[in-house]
Amino acid sequence: MAAGDSRFIVEARYYQKLPHRKIKCVLCPRECVIDDRERGYCGVRENRGGTYYTLVHSRVCALHVDPIEKKPFFHFLPGTLAFSIATAGCNVNCKMCQNWEISQVRPEQVESRYLPPAECAALARQSGSRSIAYTYSEPVVFIEYMLDCADEARRAGVRSVVVSGGYIKSEPLAELCRRVDAIKIDLKAFSQKFYSEIVNGELKPVLEALVQIRKSGIWSEIVYLVVPTLNDSDAEFRELAKWIKGNLGADMPVHFSRFHPEYLLKNLPATPLGTLERARAIAQAEGLEYVYIGNVPGHPAEKTYCPKCRNVVVDRTGYSIGRLDLQKGRCRRCGHLVPGVWG
């Protein structure tokens, strides 16, 4: 597939025209200023003669039907399938990226298929999926395709969920929140140092995005990949938990996930289980009510506990859901309201 395949090339949204055929992308906080015939940092949006184009509309390089727990969403339609898609590209360059073969390449460097939005929604429905998940790479960089798919999915009775690093500006995020049903944010760390040195991005806009998503009313969850020695101090866990409680609420689900050495961080070991348990204990001590441990199948912290009576309201092992002890979103034992989208 050539870079110039016209089926995938659609004028981008969220950019400003500048003199001398330059453009300024205003999709993400990076705000790339891009010369004619050049691409932005993401590698999938190109200036052609002073008009900015996405090169990845309907250009799907990864497609799987996954349990929604794999995203992970633990409070959104548990036990259902998510029709999961990605295009090439990402607007950061995390040294621990697990999917760098698709996120850190240009669209012409990876095998892709043509999947227009209506077909995507139809396939999702045929697969028995309750949602389309925009995931694996960074869906912010294929926002035009994501929005079009979300509209088609909604018409077909299929929800849309987004798995993102949250490095996006306010205006496109507002549009996204109007048209999708849930967003999971990978909060990479709670320090600008980590974002500068490991992510190649900024922390502040991600925190602002989290607040904006929460205020929008759509469902959201947070994943924090715990990387040994880089973002795993007690102080950082504590500050993170305090910030979440103060700005998003104690009932925001947070997943502390195990890191595996990948991409440019192969020199570090996988996260010790004890570190994840420590992170969880600190977050709970600070008052967070739904704190999970991720990438450790079978750990008790995969289950959802009622914060009031400690009843297991969602019995979860790996990606499998056992008993769901909720009635209209409330704990069957004590009646406590457990936030989420349950049916």
Chain positions contacting other proteins, by CB under 8 A: 2-4, 20-22, 33, 35-43, 93, 95, 104-106, 108-109, 200, 263-264
**And the tokens for 120?**
């995507």
Closest distance of CB 17 from other proteins, Å: 14
Residue closer to other proteins by CB (options 194, 290) is 194
Residue closer to other proteins by CB (options 37, 193) is 37
Residue closer to other proteins by CB (options 21, 245) is 21
Long-range CB contacts (< 8 A, 24+ apart) of 239-247?
239/190, 240/187, 240/190, 240/283, 241/282, 241/283, 241/285, 241/286, 241/287, 241/288, 242/286, 243/190, 243/207, 244/283, 244/288, 245/286, 245/287, 245/288, 247/207, 247/210, 247/211, 247/214
Closest distance of CB 20 from other proteins, Å: 6
Residue closer to other proteins by CB (options 109, 216) is 109
d(CA 120, CA 85): 9
d(CA 75, CA 306): 12
Handedness of CA 206, 211, 216, 222 (dihedral sign): positive
Output the DSSP codes for 116-138.
-HHHHHHHHHHTT-SEEEE-SS-
Residue closer to other proteins by CB (options 22, 70) is 22
Angle at 178 between CA 219 and CA 67, to 5 degrees: 40
Residue closer to other proteins by CB (options 98, 200) is 200
